Amino acid sequence: MRKRNLLLIAILIILFAGGLFTHAIYMDAKDWRDRGQRYYCIYEVGVGGLSGRGVEGTTVVMVPIPATKEGKFFTPPAQKDPYFTQEMMHEINNWPEQHLKGPYFENATEVFDNKTINGNWTTFIAETDKGYMLGFRTNETRLEDISYDADFIVDYFDIFDPINNGSPILFPAENFSETSVVPYGDYIKYASNPTYDSYVYVSDNLGEGPVSFYIHLQANNDPNEWSREYRGLYMNEIITNVNATGNLKVRAVLGQVIPHGNYTLWYGRYGPEYYTNETP
């Protein structure tokens, strides 16, 4: 009887330890999961027609920045302390220091501000009369084109009605087109691709000559929180050439891909009704 009790106790201890270890593995897989398995945004900026230009003084180019239509920056998820089971496993396995705390997610300032990129351009967040914008500044006398990309995690956004539900778009944003919606399961989605006006800025020292802009923001919802038919993304895009300096109005288009792989509307977005060069 005594041996049987000891064996039962040993089995319970093994099961308890195994349960703790299994819980730690599960929570690690959830807490340290890949960016693509979260509410995840990709932001790209390309400014062409600059390479080889000779200029004097400081050159500044500004573009729309990811924010809500009211100009509010995204909110990264809160950092969580590891569970007791995770702490035990990390200590036992001698994991690197960054795994001894919960994953850290950057805020907008950390993502966009004061980065040095090709051509000795330095990024900055500018507060203009149009609202916040992302700026690129250089004192070089011979310019290079701008190529910049960033990605960031958000706490939550809505891919079904991103314009009206506080999701990141290309800000400044104004003069939204009339947008109709259609039912989609338990939700709604846009019946067509909405458009809106935004702005770019080109400093006066660039003078004459076309400058091209490609600005793209893609936002993917968390596949762990949504069933397959509701997993998807939306994209904001500006593709334009400008031939002036100062604040220049440009047209942005927003398209949805719901569910993943359904690019029907997005592939048909190009046309003069989407991309027009307008100046204030």
Q: What's the predicted TM-score (pTM) here?
A: 0.86
Q: What is the residue-wise DSSP string for 17-54? A: HHHHHHHHHHHHHHHT--GGGSSEEEEEEEEES-TT-B
Residue 280's pLDDT is what?
Answer: 41
Determine if the peptide bond prior to 259 is cis (ω within 30°): yes
- Residue of 154, 262, 165 lying closest to 217 (CA atoms): 154
Contacts of 182 (CB under 8 A, 6+ apart): 188, 189, 190, 191
Residue 279's pLDDT is what?
Answer: 44
Does residue 191 surpass a pLDDT of 60?
Answer: yes
Per-residue pLDDT tens for 17-65?
A: 565 566 556 666 666 778 889 999 999 999 999 999 999 999 999 999 9
Average pLDDT over residues 87-101: 69
pLDDT classification of 270: cutoffs 50, 70, 90: low
List the structure tokens of 81: 């302390």
Residue 179's pLDDT is what?
Answer: 86
- Residue of 141, 150, 174 lying closest to 250 (CA atoms): 174
Residue 12's pLDDT is what?
Answer: 66
| Pairwise CA distance, residues 135 & 63, whole Å | 6
Per-residue pLDDT tens for 117-133?
A: 999 999 999 999 999 99
Percent of the chain scoring above 70 in pLDDT = 80
Does residue 274 surpass a pLDDT of 80?
Answer: no
* Cα–Cα–Cα angle for 259, 261, 262, rounded to 5 degrees: 65
Per-residue pLDDT tens for 58-91?
A: 999 999 999 999 999 999 998 777 766 766 667 6
112 compared with 275, residue with greater pLDDT: 112
A 10 A CB-CB count for 3 gives: 7
Residue 277's pLDDT is what?
Answer: 52
| Beta bridge partner(s), residue 147 | 46
| Pairwise CA distance, residues 148 & 255, whole Å | 22
